Structure 1
């Protein structure tokens, strides 16, 4: 065979491999789907993300939001490497959402109370947010600084005069 090369043509890396290499090289724990659009079509990215979740390398914490995972110490099932609060804070920073800790967490951190807050709550200031972030049964809850004027508040039925 004159003129043919003995070495086969190298295959292009598959979408999943390229995607995982990029995710593993990132410094943060949160991966947004919009950061991955350059690796392929929506279907290819969806398939690759599903495979990575099946392999236990990623966990889904919200719509278009994934976190790097590691095997759990007891069950061996994949779990996020950081707690939900840290992942939510990183997600908000990446999405450009201004946030503060929730009121209960602020009171605990300032020493005003010794009761440890068990819910993951964030204050989004004047911004309303409906993004659901969760790991298992733990869900991020939101509070904000929006208050309705007194004249717009509905009175309860028990407070109405008879």
Structure 2
């Protein structure tokens, strides 16, 4: 069985929607894994959220192009947790949820504490932002 089929089967059997490239290192060399992931991106099985971060995909109802199976607001914290970053709701989201504000927070912002993060995650022009406590 070749690397592409092994990775394809592994993606289908996983329950989580976010996948890191490092999770596929056991299936072959870096070049083989890269080619297999690129093939899965082209056929619409996966979409890329960032460098080495992928999500399962489904066809869009409107355009037919591949989109993530869940919204970016749900996938980004899952990806950051896999990368070892503790994620909390932003200050504005906390105020809205507590009833201290009536303004709905715009954009996708996550509080990462005092940690400095340079990783960019996003899809189709929507990117997440980081807030420091």
TM-score, length of structure 1 as denominator length: 0.79
Q: Which runs of 5+ in 2 are unaligned?
A: none
CA–CA separation in structure 1 for the residues paired with 2:59 and 2:99: 35
The 5-angstrom pairing of residues 99-110 of structure 1 reads 99-110=87-98
Deviation at 1:14, TM superposition (A): 1.5
Deviation at 1:120, TM superposition (A): 0.5
Pick aligned residue for 1:140 from 111, 124, 128: 128
CA–CA separation in structure 2 for the residues paired with 1:135 and 1:117: 19
RMSD: 0.9
Deviation at 1:118, TM superposition (A): 2.1
Pick aligned residue for 1:33 from 1, 11, 21: 21
Mean CA deviation greater in 115-124 or 35-44: 115-124
Q: Which runs of 4+ in 1 moved over 4 A?
A: none
**Is the radius of gyration larger for structure 1 or structure 2?**
1
Deviation at 1:114, TM superposition (A): 2.3
Deviations 1:49-93 (A, max 9, x none): 111011001000011000000000100100001111111110111
CA–CA separation in structure 1 for the residues paired with 2:95 and 2:132: 16
Secondary structure of 1:67 counterpart:
strand
